[in-house]
Structure 1
Amino acid sequence: MVRLPFDDENAPLYSVGQVADMLQVERAFLRRLDEHDVVRPARSGGGQRRYTRGEIGELQDAIKLVGEGMTLAAVRRIFELQHEVRRLREELARERAARGKPGEA
């Protein structure tokens, strides 16, 4: 069976307009999130932003945090810390597996 691009959560398929409509936000807000390094989508050959499904999930989280009063700098830092925790958990799981010690990751 052929795997299609929209089956891949990491395929950059969605334009700014599509994502803005989906999330009911202004396009300018999405551009600001990109400019402030909160969510950095890939660019098409023509330089247009293209979002993945994973990034759309991050955008939803960012919108919620901004709605709760967080600045874009704070949202960026929260995302950085979440990514770091995820990386450390993966590293810990690999170390435990290498030592033959099952446990929570």
Structure 2
Amino acid sequence: MGQPENRLDDEDYPAYTMGRAAEIVGCSPDFLRKLGEAKLIEPLRSDGGHRRYSRYQIRLAARAREMCDEGTDIASACRIIILEDQLEEALRQNQARQDD
């Protein structure tokens, strides 16, 4: 995972507990569990078995919550976000190839 000073900038470092992540997103811990069940986010487990979330996962959860607040069901919101993420990655790879 890198040195401690590098973790401050690491979007994927699982720094947040479930309670803190839920507080940041403005949702319940159960909502985060449902996002895990829908395969949108897969939190790392601490040695004690507690879920830990990264900033990237929190951003995805916040987007899902926003979509659900607008009336989209959780499964559809998760699928849309996964597809958006895949598209963004494909566009990034395509741009990198064009730059070579």
Matches within 5 A, 1:33-44: 33-44=35-46
> Which amino acid in the other structure matches residue 67 of structure 2?
L
> Which amino acid in the other structure matches residue 43 of structure 2?
P
Larger Rg: 1
> Which amino acid in the other structure matches residue 95 of structure 2?
A
TM score, norm. by length of structure 2: 0.83
Structure 1 unmatched ranges of 5 or more? 99-105
Q: State the Cα RMSD in Å.
A: 1.7
CA-CA distance at 1:39 after TM superposition:
2.0
2:31 is aligned with 1:29: yes
> What is the distance in 2 between the residues matched to 1:25 and 1:77?
19
CA-CA distance at 1:23 after TM superposition:
2.6
Q: How many residues align?
A: 97
Match of 2:71 in 1: 69
Compare relative contact order (CA 8 Å, sep 6+) and give the higher one, 1 or 2: 2
CA-CA distance at 1:21 after TM superposition:
2.1
Which stretches of structure 1, 4 residues or more, deviate above 4 A after TM superposition? none
TM score, norm. by length of structure 1: 0.80
> What is the distance in 2 between the residues matched to 1:22 and 1:94?
33
1:61-100: CA deviation from partner (whole Å, max 9, x where unpaired): 01000111111211121122112211221221122122xx
> Which amino acid in the other structure matches residue 76 of structure 2?
A
Aligned partner (choices 41, 44, 47) of residue 45 of structure 1 = 47
> What is the distance in 2 between the residues matched to 1:92 and 1:28?
37
Structure 2 unmatched ranges of 5 or more? none
